[in-house]
Amino acid sequence: MAISYYHTDKDSRLAVIIQGKMSEVRDSQKGDFFDTILMEMDETGEPTNVVVISQGTLGYDMYTAKNGVFWVGDNVFFSGYSKGFQTKLQTL
């Protein structure tokens, strides 16, 4: 998980990264791996934008890096890492 705060004279915003198991987040193509959820909230804590960053059918977990979410102007960026991956045709 990660959290980042952004403040200007006009508003304040918060970005939060949450890790969730595919089986808990998805309606279909559920697996036992983690998906990443990026949530942007306003100063009252109300979500203004939510994005699920899915690994699709890839067989690997993606973890959020420490201090892995940050603002550049009005844009939110995140970083993460994995410990290898596998598909039906390849393994790392």
Q: How many domains does the chain have?
A: 1
**Residue 83 within a domain:** no
Q: Answer yes or no: is 87 within a domain.
A: no
The pLDDT value given to residue 6: 83
Structure pTM? 0.66
Tens digits of per-residue pLDDT, 21-58?
766 666 666 666 777 888 899 888 899 998 887 766 66
Would 92 be classed as within a structural domain?
A: no
pLDDT in tens, 59-80: 666 777 777 888 888 888 888 7
Residue 66: both structure tokens together: 């420490």
In a domain, 85, yes or no: no
